[in-house]
A and B are shown apart, each in its own frame.
Chain A
Amino acid sequence: MSRPTLTRAQQRKRSMSRLTWARRGSQFFFAAFVLWAAVRHQLENESGTAASVDALCPFGAVETFITWITTGTFITKIHGSNLILGLALLIATLLVGNAFCGWICPFGALQDALTWVRNKLGLKARHLPPAWDAGLRWGRYVVLGVILYFSVTTATLWFADYDPYVTLFGLHWLFEWSDALWVGLGITAVVLAASVVIDRFWCRYLCPLGAVFAVLGHLSLLRIKRVEATCTDCTLCDRPCPVGITVSKANPWSTPTASGAWTAWPPARSRAR
């Protein structure tokens, strides 16, 4: 029996599906790795040789950068590993764009998992009006600015007490409870609840690392270009992006920040420069 010939759209969907599964696998691997590192760190707390979640976060490089440049020292809880991870992401983003958010970030993975659960429950996502959405995305830069200010002035990892990623994946709430965790847990609960309603709420509106990627993405050698003359407006390229970047409306460049947009890429008749 011969297999039915697939249309181009079907071929594209099948290929996207493969990449989506690979992306899910990658997200699961990195999230599991970070949880394993957190457990190891908590259990080996006395010997102090296991890396903490703080030490494995590339955003630490951003938080300590100004202090490092001006004084030659790191802010508290930051180590060489943070700078190495930051450097790796800088190189990768400048060369091929931001694949970190879609493929590696454990907190992005968690939000995607919440979206998956919501979809399984048959609940619909909420979408803010475009003007609100565009305005609130500036929140990432505000959060980044506040963090940089307090990181420099206090010379500490100031944001750690409020960071939903560190709060959740650091596992302090499981192994070394203290009342000081309530603030971080409260913020985390609100962010996760909002992420159930709005896909990747934290990535869209608040993530300071997302703000850094948004800027770096514009400098990337590899970007998505929509060729208007040949675009068929099938909008398949919009679907995988959890933060709602409409590649189909790119004019002509689109920057896949915090997204799974690479899953759809190249969109119909699109080019990278």
Chain B
Amino acid sequence: MIVSRWVAPVASVVILFGTIGVAQATGGWVTTGRTGPGVNTTAATQSITGRMTLRQVADANHVDLAKLIVACGLPADVDVDALLKDLVESDRYPGFEVQTVRDAVASLK
């Protein structure tokens, strides 16, 4: 069977937008893990990455920065504007991982 050369691209774009449309209509189109309607805490904390700082994590998840520091087991003088990955790599905070922050945020919610 010979089909028009427009079929593949047009069908691909239609399928792409159609699938997104169906997902949006059924509530399956979730693009952020941060807190909001229908987003659970586990998903929200999953969006915490090493590229974020403690201050950003606290702001994005609406938790108190001082409480977050305590929950993470970090000293009060920790640099809250340092990237988490830099804190992880620092010798000053043995055992500290990005996952520590995720767990701390989950416990504070």
Interfacial residues, chain A to chain B (CB-CB below 8 A): 15, 19, 22-23, 26, 45-46, 48-52, 55-56, 73-81, 84-85, 87-89, 91-93, 95-97, 99-100, 102-104, 156-157, 172, 176, 178, 180, 222, 256, 262-266, 270-273
Contacts and interface: CB of A to CB of B under 8 A. Distances in A.
Interface of B: 1-3, 5-9, 11-13, 15-16, 18-20, 23, 28-36, 42-43, 46-51, 56, 59-60, 83, 85, 98
Nearest to B86: A180
Contact of A222 (B3, B46, B56, B98): B3
B1 A103 contact: no
Most buried by B among A52, A91, A92, A222: A92
A55 B9 CA distance: 23
A89 B20 CA distance: 11
Contact of B13 (A46, A55, A104, A178): A104
Given A104-B13, A222-B8, 11 more contacts: A15-B5, A45-B56, A45-B60, A51-B32, A79-B43, A84-B23, A87-B19, A91-B19, A92-B16, A93-B12, A265-B8
Given A49-B34, A80-B28, A80-B29, A88 B46 contact: no
What 9 A-B pairs are tightest by C-beta distance, nearest first? Answer: A51-B31, A88-B19, A48-B34, A80-B30, A99-B12, A96-B8, A92-B12, A55-B31, A92-B15
A79 B33 contact: yes
Contacts of B23: 80-81, 84
23 contacts: A19-B5, A46-B59, A48-B35, A48-B60, A51-B32, A52-B31, A73-B46, A74-B46, A76-B49, A77-B47, A79-B43, A81-B31, A87-B19, A88-B18, A89-B12, A91-B19, A92-B12, A93-B12, A156-B49, A176-B51, A263-B5, A265-B8, A272-B1
